[in-house]
Structure 1
Amino acid sequence: MASLNPAFPVPAPADPADEVVREFGPLLRIYKSGRVERPLVPPPVGPGLDAATGVDSRDVDLGSCSVRLYLPPQAAAAAADGKTKLPVVVYVHGGGFVAESAASPQYHRFLNALAAACPALGVSVEYRLAPEHPLPAGYDDCLAALRWALSGAADPWVAAHGDLERVFLAGDSAGANICHHLAMHPDIQGRTPPLKGAVLIHPWFWGSEAVGEEPRDPAFRAMGGGLWFFSCPETSGMDDPRMNPMAPGAPGLQHLACERVLVCAAEGDFLRWRGRAYAEAVAAARGGGLGEDAAGVELLETVGEGHVFHLFKPDCDKAKEMLDKVVAFINAP
């Protein structure tokens, strides 16, 4: 059988049961036999001491999901004075709800770098993926991980080093989508103090109607939502508030349970207009504009780069600039 996507050829199967029946670019292939293949995902890396940053990491099983904790070397000095604890960053990886892992090399490297640069205690969530576990399983796992982190006493690293008055959500692509969902959850909205902030890097939102300079073509819009429909079979459509938080009837963005918001967009990303529109909508819901202190919403637009470029080119100047911006956002008073 020829590939459904010529850019990613698939050899003719020797066994008809191994025929490709569904394909989403290089992210995911589904075979007639039921086998699931994720071509872009490299082998996972284990936790442990990172020689480049001095950050230590370990995995904690939470049942349906797990988290990888990151403890920077500065934590020891902070603990020695008996007063200073570190901000807690709960990170949700991307991958279209169907791929990637907290143990993927690029995410492990990014969390090591982020934890060291802030410094912060990192909590990277390993959530269940579709299609084996259709949404809302991923949302549910990330909510469980966030609740676990907020409990504080659940883990010795969190209890000893985490400042639960400075908890941030952060994530990229589908992970940024999940971060929005978490910050809108009633359990999190009712928390005192509220989350300190949310960092949404190249968030995957979509909708039936175009925003900004997105293509208006209905076929393109349907194609853009195809992976969402596949990942979340029980969805109401492209304007499901989980995919389109700006849809008519979606919960008001003024209820986002975090003090500040940073949205990152990239010029070469087809999602850039959606990210900008989201940032503007959150600022407007808070009675202000982008960059205004009253609204507490910032937008970083990176010129000349594409979707999640910072994961694949972590040493480039633009990736370093973005990391600096995220660090400054987390450390702002």
Structure 2
Amino acid sequence: MEPSFPSKYISTSQEFPLHFHGILRMHKDGKCERFLGNDLIPAGFDPLTGIESKDVIISFESNIFVRLYIPKTIIIRNHKLPIVIYYHGGAFVTQSAASSTYHPTLNLITKQSNVIIVSVNYRLAPEYPIPIAYEDSWEAVKWVASHSKRDGPEPWLNERADFQRVFFAGDSSGANIAHNMAIRVGLNKFNVINLKGVIMLHPFFGGKDPIGDEIIDKNKEYKMLIDHGWKFAYPSGNGSDDPLFNPAKDPNISSFGCSKILLCVAEKDRLRDRGLNYKKVMEKSGWRGKIELIENKGDDHVFFLYNPSSDNARAIRDRICSFINIPIRCKA
């Protein structure tokens, strides 16, 4: 269903043919103006956490880069660190691996979980419509895997990474990407790396038919925003029931390429029901894995990025650490 303009979330005008309020707007000349993720932080040493980061271009053809994070700890001979390939959120149309939204939290996760994080800067719609974000994200997985014989282009991965302990993670649309990358691992029998688990933080999924609180009048406009936003990012797709967006419609879902998922939802997040439904879909899919569920009371969508010092944000990082490192004790 197309939203009725103007709405609380979307409007159109002669000057701005399409305006997603607070997210982005299209100018009549086709220029896309984004309102999120524009504040960038350079990579480098973080004195608060002691984490080192750097940006590495992995494809000069498409200019895809990743931001690598590594603990500045004493190197123990033969001690390798788990790898977390992280996909940022932003509804496929905003944010960056270099934005201030992500840099502080990924420093904290790197320190606490003692991991190497590979944060992927995939290209954004509408200039680069879906499925380009997924193709870029898979390119990053293959780039990481190219180091498994210790002869890849990046020394940090050659020297410090444990390719038998690889995790995919992401928030919002990034969690959607992490899910779909795990299916690709399973379908392609991609055994160059050992995918141990997937961390899904407030996943961005949808579907044509409303579920849960989406049927309530006050939430109908928000669902229209989600549906229209997906169509905007993926104009050639199959709408809100596209398998990339609605896992229940994916015939390959049982091929999910690892045996455990950490799923986080938030009580006040209007995507909460989609997250809970994802758990049900996975459990009924024939996939023989296990889902651990966290629900944060009183919090909204991806709150942990904007208030990383809150108790619930700390609790999420604690669970991420234990999910990756059991039975190793996590750092505070």
TM-score normalised by L of structure 2: 0.88
Residue 143 of structure 1 aligns to a residue whose secondary structure is helix
Q: 1:300 aligns with which of 294, 301, 315?
A: 294
Q: 2:105 aligns with which of 110, 124, 138?
A: 110
Q: Give the % identical residues.
A: 38
- What is the rounded CA distance, in whole Å, between the counterparts of 2:240 and 2:208 in structure 1? 6
- What is the rounded CA distance, in whole Å, between the counterparts of 1:68 and 1:7 in structure 2? 32
What is the match of residue 290 of structure 1? none
What is the match of residue 139 of structure 2? 144
- Count of aligned positions: 313
- Comparing 149-158 with 183-192, greater Cα deviation is found at 183-192
Per-residue CA deviations over 1:291-328 (Å, capped at 9, x if unaligned) read xxx73211111110000000111111111111111111
List aligned pairs for 1:1-333, cutoff 5 A.
19-63=15-59, 64=62, 65-74=64-73, 77=74, 79-80=75-76, 82-152=77-147, 153-154=151-152, 155-185=154-184, 189-192=188-191, 194-215=194-215, 220=221, 221-247=223-249, 250-286=250-286, 295-332=289-326
Look up the equivalent residue of 2:70 and give its one-letter code: L
Shift of residue 258 of structure 1?
1.5
Given that 2:200 and 2:262 are in contact with CA atoms closer than 8 Å, whether structure 1 keeps it comes out as yes
Given that 1:266 and 1:303 are in contact with CA atoms closer than 8 Å, whether structure 2 keeps it comes out as yes
Shift of residue 215 of structure 1?
1.8
What is the match of residue 330 of structure 2? none
Residue 29 of structure 2 aligns to a residue whose secondary structure is coil
Per-residue CA deviations over 1:65-115 (Å, capped at 9, x if unaligned) read 1100001123xx3x33x2220000000000000000000112011111111
- Comparing 299-308 with 323-332, greater Cα deviation is found at 323-332
Look up the equivalent residue of 2:210 and give its one-letter code: A
CA-atom RMSD, angstroms?
A: 2.4
Call closer, same or farther: CA 1:304–1:317 in 2, change over 3 Å: same
Residue 45 of structure 2 aligns to a residue whose secondary structure is coil
- What is the rounded CA distance, in whole Å, between the counterparts of 2:9 and 2:235 in structure 1? 27
Shift of residue 145 of structure 1?
0.5
Look up the equivalent residue of 1:129 and give its one-letter code: L
Per-residue CA deviations over 1:161-216 (Å, capped at 9, x if unaligned) read 11000000000001011111111115764022541100010000000122333327
- What is the rounded CA distance, in whole Å, between the counterparts of 1:99 and 1:107 in structure 2? 12
Given that 1:8 and 1:26 are in contact with CA atoms closer than 8 Å, whether structure 2 keeps it comes out as no
Unaligned residue ranges in structure 1 (runs of 5+): 288-293
Unaligned residue ranges in structure 2 (runs of 5+): 328-332
- What is the rounded CA distance, in whole Å, between the counterparts of 1:8 and 1:45 in structure 2? 30
Given that 1:252 and 1:285 are in contact with CA atoms closer than 8 Å, whether structure 2 keeps it comes out as no
Given that 1:189 and 1:257 are in contact with CA atoms closer than 8 Å, whether structure 2 keeps it comes out as no
- What is the rounded CA distance, in whole Å, between the counterparts of 1:301 and 1:43 in structure 2? 29
Shift of residue 330 of structure 1?
1.1
Look up the equivalent residue of 1:161 and give its one-letter code: R
- Larger relative CO (CA 8 A, sep 6+): 1 or 2? 2
Residue 166 of structure 2 aligns to a residue whose secondary structure is strand
- What is the rounded CA distance, in whole Å, between the counterparts of 1:295 and 1:38 in structure 2? 38
Shift of residue 260 of structure 1?
1.0
